[in-house]
Amino acid sequence: MGQIINGKEVALKVKEDIKSFVDDRKEKKLKIPKIASILVGNDGGSIYYMNSQEKVANSLGVEFVKVTLPEVCDDIDVISEIHKLNEDDGVQGIILQLPLPVKFNEKKIIREISPNKDIDCLTFESQGKLYMGEPKFLPCTPNSVVTLIKSLNIDIVGKNVVVLGRSNIVGKPVAQLLLNENATVTICHSKTKNLKEVCKGADILVVAIGKPKFIDESYVNENTIVIDVGTSSFEGKITGDVDFDKVIEKCKLLTPVPGGVGALTTTLLIKNACEALKENEY
């Protein structure tokens, strides 16, 4: 039977570092990190995520401001709010809750976020720097995956890593981060042939496809480290892309959902805001 990778424990160490940084700045009467989160409309998932971000930020002494806009507004209204935040020296990080309602031009709006405050790594400039190996901020969910793997004291160099999923938010950037660690990375997707065989040969399997319980024990071997990035509602519960009960019986290590990757993502987002504050002071 495999062991569980506890994302909450890893997040706790990062939170301690952030809290120490913020407390030190307060003691010296210096500026503390401030994050602004923009919500357009009333998507339940986005509201939940924003409230979670606020809770973690406040617990660490980081300021968190909510900017809420009605769905009846238009692109110009959202861009206007972004420009105000770009020009506000008190704000170090801007988060745009995604997805936006369908009528909005998401790419156009994202482009207006200042790369210096793009702590979620959404803009073209931020993503371009990531793929050039010179990132200003690391995208939080992909960084959570790599951070969890590193927490196991496993040498990633040369490891055969299979990333299942090719989204711009997780699949592609996590593959790039793992390439930066000198892993040998294969990206699989819905058109991949012999998918089970490819996955089963992985030292590390990262799953990010948004299909609850898609991966069972036939996709892994006894030494596979499985990182489940998926979060879906399934039979009234938050469930990952991996069938946890079946896979834990066979693999070496597995992240749970919840309590795995997601437990670390928001913390790393706040860490990016701290890094932005430090960098902008020089």
Phi, psi of 52 (to 5 degrees): -65, -40
pTM of the model: 0.91
* Distance, CA of 178 to CA of 203 (rounded, Å): 13
Contact 32, 60 (CB under 8 A): no
Residue 267 maps to a domain: no
Report which of 144, 124, 133, 138 is spatially closest to residue 273, judged by C-alpha positions. 138
pLDDT in tens, 101-160: 999 999 999 999 999 999 999 999 999 999 998 899 999 999 999 999 999 999 999 999
Q: Is 8 within 8 Å of 259 (Cβ atoms)? A: yes
Quick one: pLDDT at residue 44? Answer: 84
In contact, 17 and 23? CB cutoff 8 Å: no
pLDDT band at 81 (very low <50, low <70, confident <90, very high): very high
Q: Domain for residue 111, yes or no?
A: yes
Q: Indicate whether 189 and 258 sit together in one domain.
A: yes
Give the CATH number of the domain where residue 207 resides.
Answer: 3.40.50.720
The answer to whether position 127 is within a domain reads no
Considering the domain architecture, whether residues 40 and 100 belong to the same structural domain is answered as yes
Look at residue 275 and tell me if it is in a domain: no
- CA 245 vs. chain centroid, Å, equals 24
* AA identity, residue 79: I
Say if residue 166 carries a ligand binding annotation.
yes
Residue 48: its pLDDT value, please?
A: 83
* Span 92-105, average pLDDT: 94
Question: pLDDT tens digit string along 28-46?
Answer: 999 999 999 999 999 887 8
| Residue 266 in tokens | 């928001």
Is residue 282 predicted with pLDDT exceeding 70?
A: no
- Whether 70 is covered by a domain: the verdict is yes
Residue 105 and residue 48 in one domain: yes
Q: Are residues 149 and 249 in the same domain?
A: yes
Are residues 164 and 247 both part of a single domain? yes
Residues 144 and 256 in one domain: yes
Whether residue 8 is contained in a domain is answered as no
One domain for residues 110 and 156? no
243 within a domain of the structure (yes/no): yes
pLDDT higher than threshold 60 for residue 5: yes
Same domain, 94 and 156: no
Give tens-digit pLDDT for 6-21.
999 999 999 999 999 9
Count how many domains the chain has. 2
pLDDT band for position 274 (cuts 50, 70, 90) = very high
- What is the rounded CA–CA span in Å between residue 196 and residue 216? 10
220 and 150: one domain? yes
CATH code for position 89: 3.40.50.10860
| Whether residue 102 is found in the same domain as residue 67 | yes
What percentage of residues in the chain have a pLDDT greater than 70?
99
Same domain, 71 and 183: no
- Copy the structure tokens of residue 144: 């959570």
For residues 231 and 252, is the Cβ–Cβ distance under 8 A? no
pLDDT tens per residue across span 179-190 = 999 999 999 999
Q: Does residue 166 sit in the same domain as residue 216? A: yes
Tell whether residue 165 is among the known ligand binding residues: yes
To the nearest 10 degrees (0 to 180), the angle between helices 124-131 and 171-180 is 40
Find out whether 210 is annotated in a ligand binding site.
no
Q: Which domain holds residue 77?
A: 30-115
Exposure string for 210-239, b = 16+ CB within 10 A, e = fewer: ebbbbbebebbeeebbbbbbbbbeeeeeeb
Q: Is the pLDDT score of 83 beyond 70? A: yes
